[in-house]
Amino acid sequence: MAKLLKLIQNENMKLYKRLGTWIMIGIIIIAVLGIGVFSKFFMDSGENTNWQQRLEAENLQLERQLEESPFQSAGEAYVTKQIAINNYRIDQDIPPLHSQSLWGFMIDTTNLTGIIALFAIVIAGGMVASEFSWGTIKLLLIRPVSRTKIILSKYITTILFALFSMVSLFLFSFLIGSVFFGLEGAEDPYLVYNEGEVRERNMISHIIGLIGFNSVDLLMMVTLAFMISTVFRSSSLAIGVSIFLLFTGPQVTQLLSSYDWAKYVLFANTNLQQYTNGTPLVEGMTMTFSIIVLLVYFILFTLTTWVVFKKRDVAA
């Protein structure tokens, strides 16, 4: 265990002594700052002053839609939920979220987890492949440490990088958000509509939840990139394939959603928000089903990585 910690320390040293890593972190910080500047100075600020009237008008329109043209069940549920939440806001005097408030801004910046996923894939793709291309793998493996521990330390380091980026994103967007937009409305709750009732939830845990949901995708793609990096010893292949899948996977799965087997595709399951806040891609899918599918893929990826790394002959 002490040995594993030292290995992780080594991997971290190799990661953070490289300029590229800091450029990535810099880009994330600049992106948060950019979104902040844009929301503060370039967006129309009058939007939220008379929100009560706006919500009432919106409700009227939604109700009319409900009466005139019946929706499918999913659409109807969405509209009913929207009306209920709007009414609750008006009754309890809780203004809706908008980009020029701390929470609205932080929810906007959770979209940056996509960039973090991208960077984490780049790191994962280089983790093992680079040691081969640098030639350092030879000196790395002739130490009294099992290969299992070495590959594990590399994987943990990759995940720690993603985690570190996520925490940085959260803290930095909180900092920028509170500097730019103040702490006004910080006690506003997040509203959820559940079984015909509107409930108040803690906003911070909602935002952390959002980041968490986005991390599922990240974790799976990083693990995939890590596997390709180990199996093919090519960082460009690992990065290319993983990023391609990251962007096209969900769309392709959407196209395939009319087939029943589509529910076994990885990307049909990475978005767990489809169960908390929407409709499942293929009818009959449940949260438990998706978690099991994700676990199976995860075990498949990590097991392949481990076996290949352990067995591989290191030739020139």
Confirm or reject binding of residue 142 to other proteins (CB under 8 A). yes
Size of residue set near other proteins by CB under 8 A: 27
| CB-nearer residue toward other proteins: 81 or 312 | 312
Single residue of 134, 247, 259, 264 touching other proteins by CB under 8 A: 134
Query: Residues 60, 74, 139, 175: which binds other proteins (CB under 8 A)?
Result: 139
* Strand ranges inside the chain, DSSP E: 190-194, 197-201
Beta-bridged to residue 191, according to DSSP, are 200
Quick one: which segment of 17-25, 61-69, 240-248, 251-259 binds other proteins (CB under 8 A)?
Answer: 17-25
DSSP annotation of 259 = S
Burial of 5 per CB tally in 10 Å (0-12, 13-18, 19+) = exposed
Query: Is 156 one of the binding residues for other proteins (CB under 8 A)?
Result: no
- Which residue lies nearer to other proteins by CB, 53 or 146? 146
Q: Which residue, 9 or 205, is less far from other proteins as judged by CB?
A: 9
> What SS3 state is found at 44?
coil
The residue range among 84-92, 94-102, 141-149, 257-265 that interacts with other proteins, by the rule CB under 8 A, is 141-149
For 54-85, the DSSP string reads: HHHHHHHHHHHHHHHSPPPHHHHHHHHHHHHH
Cβ 310 to other proteins, closest distance in Å?
Answer: 11
Using an 8 Å Cβ cutoff, are 239 and 122 in contact? Answer: yes
Phi, psi of 189 (to 5 degrees): -90, 165
Which residues contact other proteins by CB under 8 A? Answer: 3, 6-7, 9-10, 13-14, 17-19, 134-136, 138-146, 311, 313-316
